[in-house]
A and B are shown apart, each in its own frame.
Chain A
Amino acid sequence: MKEGQTVDTEKAGWEPRIIAFLCNWCSYAGADLAGISRLQYPPNVRVIRVPCSGRVNPYFIIKSLQHGVDGVLVSGCHPGDCHYINGNLVARRRFAIFKSILEFMGVEKGRVQFSWISAAEGERFSQVIKEVTEEIKALGPGKRFVKEI
């Protein structure tokens, strides 16, 4: 980003870049189903497939934000549906705490989001992507952790 640019001018025509960590068994499959059903959603999200939402280290999220990504979505199986019995519950506990740390660090609410999407919920996946993209768009570029040179 060039120096002297204000957020407002940047916002015109600006599109957020979002990383989504999806678990292989539910949310990634839900994303596939959205595709099979041809449900259209904004093209701002790049998916990184992980075996389970429990695999998502909070540092992945920090790293993404440091890299200049504007938003992060983590999605796993619904509670009780985890392919690995309780990996998503481990993730839930972890992110419940992590959320408050993000808040403490000054990351706006909504920049990092968590959801449960099952393999049958293509419709919901596209809906979540729409909402997340809209919310992050409204927040503007994520610069909290980006070193400006």
Chain B
Amino acid sequence: MIDLTIDDESLKVEEGTTILQAAEAAGIKIPTLCYHKALSWYGACRICLVEISMNGGSQIQASCQYQVQPGMVVRTDSERVIRTRKIMVELLLARCPNSKKIRELADELGIRETRFPKRDEDCLLCGLCVRMCHERMGKSTIGFAKRGIAREVVPPFEERSEVCLGCGSCEFVCPAEGIKPEDICKKEIKPIASEFDEKLSQRSAIYIPFPQAIPNKAVVDRENCVHFLTEKCEVCKEFCEADAIDFSQKDQLLDLDVGAVILAPGFEEFDAALKGEFGYGVYPNVVTSIEFERILSASGPYKGKVLRPSDQRHPKRIAFIQCVGSRDPSCNRGYCSSVCCMYATKEAIIAKEHDREVEPTIFFMDLRAFGKDFDKYYERAQKEYGIRYVRSMISAVKQMQQNKNLKLKYINDGREIVEEEFDLVVLSVGLIPSEKIQQLGRSLGLKLNKYGFCETQDFASVKTSKDGIYVCGAFQGPKDIPETVIQASGAASFVQGDLASVRGGLVTKKEYPPEIDVRGQPPRIGAFICHCGINIGGVVDVPSVVRYAQTLPHVSYAMDNLYTCSQDAQEIIKEKIKEHNLNRVLVASCSPRTHEPLFQETIREAGLNRYLFEMANIRDQCSWVHMQQPEAATEKAKDLVRMAVAKAAKLEPLQRLRLSVIPRGLVIGGGISGMSAALSLARQGFEVYLVEKEKDLGGIMRNIHYTLEGKDTQQFLRNIENEIRNNQLIQVFTNAEPKEISGYIGNFKTALTSGEELEHGVVIVATGGEELKTEEYLWGKNESVVTQMELEQRLSRKSSEISNLKCVVMIQCVGSREDARPYCSRTCCSESIKNALKIKETNPEAQVFVLYRDMRTYGFKEDWYREAREKGVIFIRYSEQEKPQVREDEGSLRVSINDEILDETLILQPELVVLSVATVPYQENKSLAQMLKVPLNDDGFFLEAHVKLRPVEFATEGIFVCGLAHSPKFLDESITQANAASSRASVILSQDEIEAEGTVAMVNTTRCSACGMCESLCAYKAIEVKTVDEKRGITTAVVTEAMCKGCGACVANCRSSALNLRGFTDDQIFSAISSF
């Protein structure tokens, strides 16, 4: 080891170290230019000059090449050094006045202008590129040629090289932006396109695949990484302080023993280039919807600005073309992709929100807004955002040569062919199962349908053709997020059933030491400040933050760690807690969002309550965002530590509430959803109470006799009823309804109208829905006007009445999609096709007319819509403003409708008019919602916690919803949702006790004025005003801790300051504020 002094700091370094390396290790910065950590030194630029005093003399030397010697005294910032360095920079500035890097160096040294005559070179002759190519890329494609002032960097014979990889590392290291791989490489230079940004931006060969990746770690792309091409490079290794890069890693084949398999491989977008008429891949301003999604994203290629690819200008007129690769048998994509109408609408709205000038137009065939509340969104898109919808398909897109705009030809409302110019065209591409996914299915021996999606069993949309293998998401068929999430939980429910006997078999319980009682102790805070390698330490002066922390009140101990999150640091924290008798711990490092649980676990293992922990974020919110201002960043880090210490001193141990769980479920409603939910819970081994208000089980399904796909529903219903009757775990109560429900997650009590009192841990709401009793179109006044369900009854009887029919008119959207019920009932389009086909089957001569607004036969149901047209069913569109008229004329029915295509009014004389009436929720939902304290939406359906991500749960824990009570849907969808609800419910039922977070609201009863503001604000119904002591007349707010989520909305709103939020008390936050 060698002793030396750099800028008055005494250092001990190993022999052979250069002065630059020694200074760097000590955190002393010396400016460099031709130096690169991963390359050999060169000493060309002389920027890193230092003054070395030794043996009485002093000399100026380049620190990058000069090795340390004993007794050396080095100055990096003496007057002589600065003066000499300035001359060097001026000389370089004269040579390359346009280099940004040199301009920066000049600015740092306060040089405004060079005193030397300027030349306009783009090469400093620093040799970084030459060394990089030779030493690291292993290629030596470029080298120095000629001498003196003619010296330059060129490939051999100044010809473009065949050896060159085109890796671009020369360009990457060049400080003068003077070298272009295109001038060196014979091959075409292809930047690596970012997959996540849909190839609209570039990425490096080592990269984090996307911002939300789990784990959020970098991966090496072996196809493009130079190391895997030449076995050299490894530059990244020099920079990774954690030494985490391991090129020797190989793909591994793992054998896993499992009891069941769930397939969730997702989908791929349809390749829009296959539809050549739209010019995708040829015209730069024709993009797919997923590319446009990235363009709109704040983290996307244009940072969320609405720009078009050809010239990065704001496009004003944007056209969306729907059904690209959907509803199109010409490319074997006969099905509807189900989601494109809505995502196009969403993208149009977002584009408009980002840029008010944008004028989106959506060209479509049928607008399929069939999901819950989707129609309202569609209405808003038109009325609030002014998005234009044109019911017309585009046959071809042409590009204008000059401005790269696009011309679309279509037929407008007036049945004229018009041409319109757009700045950008977005193709709404369909969903397809990729070849790879299909192969996976085939290799597992699964049946796939004709489009390559996974076939599933009747009435069980998650069961594949093979026992024990389940499927969910778009591999089963194109679907939106809520349906995907529902299927995922539904598939899980079957696995939970299959594996019920071994549940928890692989779980080992962690043992903790008893908690140290810190009550009454003065705070003794331990502060651990993290370098995070150079992530924090490279900007923030961590040692000075530690020294500062030691001076703060209540801090008993402070230290720095290279990585506070490393395994050995956890041991150190535990040791220090014991050694210094610490009772609060502060870690100043990265984000509590990622690392708080880890440190909480550590201090708990050391016997401290896990809430005696606080974090200061000095990386993500300090060193990383103030990289150019190390001093300001250090000051900020000190402030953040001081504020966190002030809060930490006020921390109190909190207890997580433990609640026992009654392992029984209550299912309200004995229709197909309720029965399926009950059976699913029973299959998982839980007892279930099934409550039905009528005398029989079955609900609305008793009126459904077959499905569109031709399956026998009544047989299925009988089987399920039998299963329920024979299942010991299910107790059925008919002619009964809940009268009163009290309690909370894990511990509910329900009194039934039939007198029973039930105790259970969860509630599943499956109250169903019914057909609207309409007053339109003479229903109830003329026997020949029936609903679809009434028709189905007649069809199932196979009476001669049907076989003699000559003309039937079906009217869609009766009571749906209008002011009174602004939602789509989802099933009616397919139901009418089902019944129309049935009529055609018994009597091919019968004329069937379907009067519709949009045919919403989504997914594979589109195939049946096509079949109906092929069989001669006639579809006539009408608009909301021009509804068809039904009247009685001398005993027979007359239907008049304006045909848009013929532009004439047609008069039909059917023997039967069939109404596709809306599906409506039960009125009783209101009282049940009040009993359960859960919300309904405007239409009277139950409102789930999150429409996309939590489609079967309520915000109130322990209560779930499925079936028509949630929204109109098909049988198989109801059944899957019922299974999903049972899967989510079993997460609670399978635990002996559940732990609630400790950060909940609390009430100071002496201050509470019982105003009830808190109660009205709480989204979780976790706080209510109650009389707690009748004798003394004390009425106060009471928090049900098991239900409180700790948002603090009630706390901040309390006019008497009677409320507080544990872990974020007023006092703690005030402390943080007043210590700033």
A residues apposed to B, CB below 8 Å? 17, 19, 24, 28-29, 31-41, 43, 46-52, 54-60, 63-64, 67, 69, 83-87, 90-91, 94, 118, 120-124, 126
Contact = CB atoms under 8 A, between A and B. Distances in A.
Contacts of A46: 636, 639-640, 643, 1076
Interface in B298-357: 298-299, 303-304
Given A51-B1061, A54-B1049, A123 B297 contact: no
Contact of A55 (B593, B629, B643, B1047): B1047
A63 B304 CA distance: 36
Contacts of A67: 1073-1074, 1076
B1049 A43 contact: no
B1046 interface: yes
A63 B1076 CA distance: 11
A85 B619 CA distance: 30
B1049 A41 contact: no
Nearest to B642: A46
B1061 A41 contact: no
Interface in B20-63: none
A43 B633 contact: yes
Please name the 5 residue pairs, one residue from A and one from B, whose CB atoms are nearest each other, closest first: A55-B1048, A35-B620, A54-B1049, A84-B1047, A35-B624
A60 B1073 contact: yes
A47 B483 CA distance: 39
Interface in B585-630: 591-594, 617, 619-622, 624-629
Given A67-B1076, A94-B1052, A120 B621 contact: no
B298 A52 contact: no
18 contacts: A19-B1076, A31-B620, A32-B591, A32-B594, A33-B211, A33-B299, A37-B299, A48-B643, A51-B1047, A54-B1047, A55-B1048, A55-B1051, A67-B1076, A69-B1076, A84-B1047, A94-B1053, A120-B297, A120-B299
Contacts of A48: 643, 1069, 1072-1073
Nearest to A90: B1049
A57 B643 contact: no
B373 interface: no
Given A47-B621, A52-B1047, A67-B1074, A85 B955 contact: yes
Contacts of B1070: 60, 63
B999 interface: yes
Contacts of A38: 624-625, 627
B1045 interface: yes
Interface string B1032-1076: 000000000000011111011100000001001010011011101
Nearest to B297: A120
Q: In which size bucket is the chain B interface?
A: 35 or more
Contacts of B1064: 50-51, 55
Contacts of A57: 1051-1052, 1066
B1015 to A, nearest CB: 13
B1019 interface: yes
A33 to B, nearest CB: 7
A17 B635 CA distance: 12
A15 to B, nearest CB: 8
Contacts of A60: 1069-1070, 1073
B907 to A, nearest CB: 48
Contact of A19 (B945, B1066, B1073): B1073
B1061 A35 contact: no
A41 B623 CA distance: 11
A19 B1075 CA distance: 12
Nearest to B299: A120
Nearest to B628: A40
A32 B559 CA distance: 24
B632 interface: yes
B1017 interface: yes
Nearest to B1072: A48
Contacts of A43: 622, 625-626, 629, 632-633, 635-636
A17 B1073 CA distance: 12
Given A19-B1073, A35-B624, A40-B627, A51 B1048 contact: yes
Nearest to A58: B1052
Contacts of A41: 625-626
Contact of B298 (A32, A58, A123): A123
B334 to A, nearest CB: 36
A121 B298 contact: yes
Contacts of B1020: 85
Nearest to A49: B592
Contacts of B1046: 51
Contacts of B1076: 17, 19, 46, 64, 67, 69
Contact of A39 (B592, B625, B628, B1053): B625
A4 B907 CA distance: 92
Nearest to A84: B1047
A64 B481 CA distance: 43
Contacts of B633: 43
Given A47-B621, A48-B1073, A54 B1048 contact: yes
Given A50-B1069, A84-B1047, 13 more contacts: A31-B620, A35-B621, A40-B625, A43-B626, A43-B632, A46-B640, A48-B643, A48-B1069, A50-B1048, A55-B1051, A94-B1052, A123-B298, A126-B625
Best-buried of B621, B624, B945, B1069 by chain A (most CB within 10 Å): B621
A56 B1052 contact: yes
Contacts of B621: 31-32, 34-35, 47
Nearest to A50: B1064
B627 to A, nearest CB: 6
Interface in B626-657: 626-629, 632-633, 635-636, 639-640, 643
Residue among B1020, B1070, B1076 having the largest count of chain A Cβ atoms under 10 Å:
B1076
Contact of A85 (B592, B629, B1019): B1019
A48 B636 CA distance: 13
Contacts of A39: 625
Nearest to A31: B621
Contacts of A94: 1052-1053
Contacts of B1074: 63, 67
B298 A124 contact: yes
A95 to B, nearest CB: 11
Q: Which of A28, A90, A94 has the most CB of B within 10 A?
A: A90
A38 B539 CA distance: 13
A96 B1052 CA distance: 15
Contact of B593 (A17, A28, A87, A90): A28
Contacts of A83: 1047
Contacts of A118: 298
A69 B643 CA distance: 14
A24 B1073 CA distance: 17
A65 B1072 CA distance: 13
Contacts of A33: 211, 299
A29 B593 contact: yes
B298 A84 contact: no
Nearest to B216: A36
Contacts of B625: 34-35, 38-41, 43, 126
B643 to A, nearest CB: 6
A91 B1051 CA distance: 12
Nearest to B1066: A57
Contacts of B1047: 51-52, 54-55, 83-84, 87
B299 A90 contact: no
Contacts of B1069: 48, 50, 60
A84 B1020 CA distance: 9
B593 A40 contact: no
Given A33-B211, A120-B297, A52 B1049 contact: yes
A24 B1066 CA distance: 17
B617 A47 contact: yes
Given A90-B1017, A124-B298, A126-B625, A36 B211 contact: yes
B624 A54 contact: no
Contacts of A40: 625-628
A86 B1073 CA distance: 26
